[in-house]
Amino acid sequence: MAVITGSPSTHRAGDLNITWTDVGPFLALAALLVAGFLINPDFLSATNLANVITRSAFIAIIAVGATFVISSGGLDLSVGSMAAFVTGITIMFMNAVAPHAGLWAIPAGMLVAILVGLLCGLANGLIVTIGRIEPFIATLGTMGIFRALITYLTDGGTIPIDRSLREAYRPVYFGTVGGIPIPILISVAVAAIASFVLYKMKYGRKCAAVGANEDVARYSGISIIKTRTIAYIVQGVCVAIAAICYVPRLGAATPTTGQLWELQVITAVVIGGTALRGGKGHVWGTVAGAVILELIANLMVLSDFVSEYLVAAVQGVIIIIAMLIQRFSNSK
């Protein structure tokens, strides 16, 4: 039998293949930071950066979950409404048990949040996989359902968290550990766990295979139903974690909570380098994408270039340019 022509570098050569898709989002992030500094030096102040990155934590955490769903070839439009719904249920639960349990209501409420998020994700997953309904339509449906439920629960107004819990819970959003805001730590932890699952565990392999080519996955003996449903469950749990960080910020759930988050989440995932049609997920890229989105918004306010009426247009242009740069550097 013939010997291999040439000598392929045998030592895990593939792992070191760094592509534009991998570094693109971080380059964009760096470019944005430089541009921001030139426009307004305050942009790079510790307070401003801490504020902006903390703010991006919700989208980042949810988008990490969305990376699973999109990587597995699905889509979840319900995340924004789901976040509002989970927030509402969590606050109502905490308020209900606060008189008996005192501050224990907070961790108990967190567990409830995770449970509710998990069930919402499971529902989405089963509708898509067992029900065989297009993810777009299925989650458009649940998006309406979750939004209506939170509107119903709040009577269209707000559900504020009990005053006795407010101060104790506040640090989860406003507190810091070692100078780093807690939401940032949480999102880094979520992303770290997620990237371990996606890149180092069998499940991640299956997830990417199902998203890249459903037939190949099926012919390789991988359960598509199981793999996708788990992705939606992960998404639900991520939404719950985001909700847990969100509650202490304004201390209330309203029918407008989480509005349009789904679009920001999808944008973050795509900016991060994960293809909308499925396949390999880029967890850290997604996190960078979420930060980029928030930085652009921040920069719009800090600069005086753009009329308040045109802010959204400029944001749109920047996102499209970022994607075009990625596209062209990819197809090179």
Instruction: Tell which positions 212-241 bind other proteins, by CB under 8 A.
Output: 212-213, 215-223
Contact set for other proteins, span 93-152 (CB under 8 A): 151
Q: Which is nearer to other proteins, 103 or 218 (CB)?
A: 218
Q: Which is nearer to other proteins, 100 or 215 (CB)?
A: 215
d(CA 290, CA 45): 19
Least distance (Å) from other proteins to the CB of residue 254?
7
The SS3 of residue 75 is: coil
HSE toward the beta carbon, residue 201, CA cutoff 13 A: 12
Stretch that binds other proteins, among 68-76, 113-121, 126-134, 305-313 (CB under 8 A): 305-313
Stretch that binds other proteins, among 3-11, 98-106, 266-274, 315-323 (CB under 8 A): 3-11
Contact set for other proteins, span 184-203 (CB under 8 A): 200-203
d(CA 113, CA 248): 14
Least distance (Å) from other proteins to the CB of residue 159?
9
d(CA 2, CA 57): 55
Query: Residue 36 contacts by C-beta under 8 Å, 6 or more apart in sequence?
Result: 43, 44, 295, 298, 299, 302
**Both tokens assigned to 303:** 């600069």
Least distance (Å) from other proteins to the CB of residue 110?
20
Q: 181 with 50: CB under 8 angstroms?
A: yes
* Site for other proteins contains 297 (CB under 8 A): yes
Q: Which is nearer to other proteins, 74 or 204 (CB)?
A: 204
* Site for other proteins contains 209 (CB under 8 A): yes
Least distance (Å) from other proteins to the CB of residue 31?
20
Task: Please state the length of the chain.
Answer: 332
* Site for other proteins contains 176 (CB under 8 A): no
Contact set for other proteins, span 262-291 (CB under 8 A): 279-280
* Site for other proteins contains 314 (CB under 8 A): no
Q: 160 with 90: CB under 8 angstroms?
A: no
* Site for other proteins contains 18 (CB under 8 A): no
d(CA 308, CA 263): 21
Q: Which is nearer to other proteins, 119 or 225 (CB)?
A: 225
* Site for other proteins contains 83 (CB under 8 A): no
Q: Which is nearer to other proteins, 22 or 108 (CB)?
A: 22
* Site for other proteins contains 45 (CB under 8 A): yes
* Site for other proteins contains 166 (CB under 8 A): no
Burial of 5 from C-beta contacts in 10 A (0-12 / 13-18 / 19+):
exposed
* Site for other proteins contains 315 (CB under 8 A): no
d(CA 3, CA 48): 60
Least distance (Å) from other proteins to the CB of residue 63?
16
Least distance (Å) from other proteins to the CB of residue 182?
13
Q: Which is nearer to other proteins, 78 or 298 (CB)?
A: 298
Beta bridge partners of 176: 181
DSSP output for 220-279: TT--HHHHHHHHHHHHHHHHHHHHHHHHHHHSEE-TTTTTTHHHHHHHHHHHTT--TT-S
